[in-house]
Amino acid sequence: MKNPISNKRRRKEAQVAFRKTLEKEAKGVDPDIAVPKFQQGKGESDRAYIQRMEQEAQHVLFLSKNQASRQPEVQAPSTREKSERKKAFQRRRQDRVQRKKAERAAERLEQELLRDPVQFGEVALQPPELTTTPRTSTSRDQPGRRSLVLRALLRPRGSRPLTPSLARQRIVEEERLRAVQAYRALRRLGQQRGQLEVHL
């Protein structure tokens, strides 16, 4: 049977060790792993003693594997270096802010120059005249007027694009006039029916 006093003593020792490690961590010093001292208890059997040693050894191995890597040769940067870095960062940041302010001021000035002040009651008699041609020509962008490579290959060389003959133009014009007259007749019939329905 285990002695209850020894268990209490172990708990107290563990608590004291834990407090010490917490204090060391608070100070910023990494705690060293405590090396266990093996001593067989009075009523402890050999098998229990070996098992306890094995457990404590495994625990120490676990702690050593999970411990933060220590590099004593790497020194922390001095406060002067930190302050110089901070100053350089602040300078870069201020330069960036000043550049942005200058860009915004330039944009505002440009917008004010491009704005045309119009007073109340002012009348424009005609739209403004464009003196410059647009960058992209309108004839290129229209679907039927693009000069495609295949179209150039299909046309016989040296000839102009085909224009309909005078007879063909006259036939097309007559068909157009006939369609317009038929449309107008349909409109008249629709209006007459609408008037008849209103009277009834």
Residue 129 lies in a domain: no
Q: Which domain holds residue 9?
A: 4-65
Q: Sign of the C-alpha dihedral, residues 158, 163, 164, 169?
A: negative
Residue 40 to residue 48: CA distance in whole angstroms: 9
Residue 50 lies in a domain: yes
Residue 83 lies in a domain: no
Taking CB atoms within 8 Å and a gap of at least 24, the contacts of 40-46 are: 41/6, 43/2, 43/3
Position 29 scores a pLDDT of 54
Helices and strands (H, E) in the chain, number of each type: 6, 0
pLDDT band at 12 (very low <50, low <70, confident <90, very high): confident
Position 159 scores a pLDDT of 57
Position 138 scores a pLDDT of 56
Question: Which one-letter amino acid corresponds to residue 138?
Answer: T
Q: Which of 58-62, 124-128, 154-158, 173-177 has maximum average pLDDT?
A: 173-177
Position 107 scores a pLDDT of 93
Per-residue pLDDT tens digits for 63-108: 777 776 666 666 666 667 778 888 999 999 999 999 999 999 999 9
Length in residues, the chain: 200
Question: Which one-letter amino acid corresponds to residue 162?
Answer: L
Q: Which two tokens stand for residue 124?
A: 């424009």
Average pLDDT of the residues of the chain: 80
CB-based contact 164:172 (threshold 8 Å):
yes
Residue 161 to residue 18: CA distance in whole angstroms: 98
Mean pLDDT of 174-187: 95
Q: What does pTM read for this prediction?
A: 0.25
Residue 40 lies in a domain: yes
Structurally, how many domains does the chain consist of? Answer: 1
Position 3 scores a pLDDT of 54
Locate all alpha helices (DSSP H) within the chain, ordered by sequence: 4-27, 46-65, 79-114, 138-141, 149-154, 166-199
Residue 111 lies in a domain: no
Residue 124 lies in a domain: no
Q: Please state the φ and ψ torsions of residue 95, each to the nearest 5 degrees.
A: -60, -45
Residue 192 lies in a domain: no
Residue 82 lies in a domain: no
